Amino acid sequence: MSSRITEINKDTFWTLIAQAKEHTSGPSEWLMEQLVDMGPEQAKRFDDIACAYTSLAYQYGLWTAASVMERGGCTDDGFTDFRGWLIAQGREVYMAALKDPDSLADAPDYQDQRFDCLPHIGERAFEELTGRDIYEDFDPAGYDALKAELKKDVVYGDGIGYPYTWSEAVSYLPRLCAKYMTPEELQCHIRQYNDTWNITSPEIQKARATATKSKKIKKNRGDSR
């Protein structure tokens, strides 16, 4: 029998996520109980780590994967939900996805396994314990240091910073496309509007001008540069 967790760090964070998912009838309720028992400091620590992992997953290549898994595109709010779902799948799935988003073809079906609320329970537990908004105690310097520490464990994959078109997504995420979309659906998206992004966005324009595409795209295009 494993010992009860009393302190939140990057390892116990993932352990709690895994344990919560074992309580399939009420994973959020179970996790809430654990964090309330630990007190506000640990609840806030859990929330800080969840927010940092959410931020570290803000990568356009992963957003492309979310668009495929949503079968037609993914909004800003949708991508926030997606990253919550991704964290809820556990450390192995999360880290693998940042290294290669196509690995999500091996993850549980996106529509059937939405424990996306799990990463947000720290905020709720803190507010229940203190009656205060968790952001009133936000420490920017401490958060940045935590995020930098967690980032050391992350291996970002080739081309994950680039916002792909639908036609490029077929090459970048072949297994994921095959799992979530029919060839007919993909061709329809390519013909009708071969882009899921707001191409007038300065952020998207910058990413397409500066980020490196996956070598899978260049290879398929016969580009040797």
Tens of pLDDT, residues 171-211 = 999 999 999 999 999 999 999 889 889 889 999 999 999 99
- Give me the helix-helix angle, 140-151 and 40-56, nearest 10°: 60
User: 112 pLDDT exceeds 80?
Assistant: no
Model pLDDT, residue 149: 98
Mean pLDDT throughout 145-161? 97
Give the closest residue to 98 by CA, choosing from 86, 112, 116, 109: 86
Model pLDDT, residue 114: 56
**Which residues does 209 contact at the CB level (< 8 Å), separation at least 6?**
none
User: 225 pLDDT exceeds 50?
Assistant: no
List pLDDT tens digits, range 30-58. Answer: 999 999 999 999 999 999 999 999 999 99
pLDDT bin (cut points 50, 70, 90) of residue 221 is very low
Q: What are the extents of the domains in the chain?
A: 10-220
Lookup: tokens for 205: 């324009």
Model pLDDT, residue 217: 86
Model pLDDT, residue 25: 77
CA distance 69 to 112: 12
Higher pLDDT, 20 or 110: 20
Higher pLDDT, 25 or 153: 153
